[in-house]
Amino acid sequence: MADGRVERGNQTRRTVLGRTMDIASTDGLEGLSLGKIATDLGLSKSGVFALFGSKEDLQLATVRAAAAVFAEHVVKPVREEPAGIVKVWRLCEQWIDYSAGRVFPGGCFFYSAAAEFDSRPGPVRDEIAKARTEWTRYMEQQLDEARLAGGFREGTDRADVPQLAFEIIALMELANAGSVLHDDPTTYERAGRGILDRLRAVAAAPGELPQRPPAVSSRLA
């Protein structure tokens, strides 16, 4: 019986967080309300309050759940691929698919969450910053592993990696912003071309990379 109660609680938590991630990606984390979520989902308010004791707890749990979804869609699909410049591009493709495919209806969850909380100190901002820092470091790690595997041309060293990661992430996030604001999926193709140009500029074997990214429509078909 105890195991059954735990599983029901876990299922309720998953249901609530699935809803809050979608809401937060469009209306912001401040748009979350324990009472409204319970009503929307037809759940017991007391049960939801027992799982998330405060709005801030709900916001933190939502950010952590979104980080797990991000990892599942972006990182996991290419995790076992061999280190190299092609793996870096594949990682970028996964990010573009995650944003363009609207895994979250508002586009990249962390782009919008960061804009909402970037000037608001506190635990929620810290959690968002942690997730974004981990993503940047992961991109840097993949680039450095590609360099160590001989994927970069001579003269490219570890000091070049953070700048390259910054430029790649900036292109992806600008594509996300333009797509959401203007409903224009071609921003992802422009970002893809920019990323490929940047990777080819440092690649030891640029011919391993495609000349152009696939169109978003064919990518998501």
pLDDT of residue 5: 65
pLDDT of residue 62: 97
Cβ-count burial 84-97 (b if 16+ within 10 Å, e if not): bbbbbbebbbbbbb
pLDDT of residue 85: 97
Which domains are seen in the chain, by residue range? 55-219 (1.10.357.10)
Q: Within the chain, which residues score under 50 in pLDDT?
A: 218, 221
Residues near 23 by beta carbon (within 8 Å), at least 6 away in sequence = 31, 32, 37
- What is the 8-class DSSP label of residue 33? -
Query: From CA 183, how far away is CA 157, in angstroms rounded?
Result: 39
pLDDT of residue 45: 82
pLDDT of residue 84: 97
Cβ-count burial 191-204 (b if 16+ within 10 Å, e if not): bbebbbeebbebbb
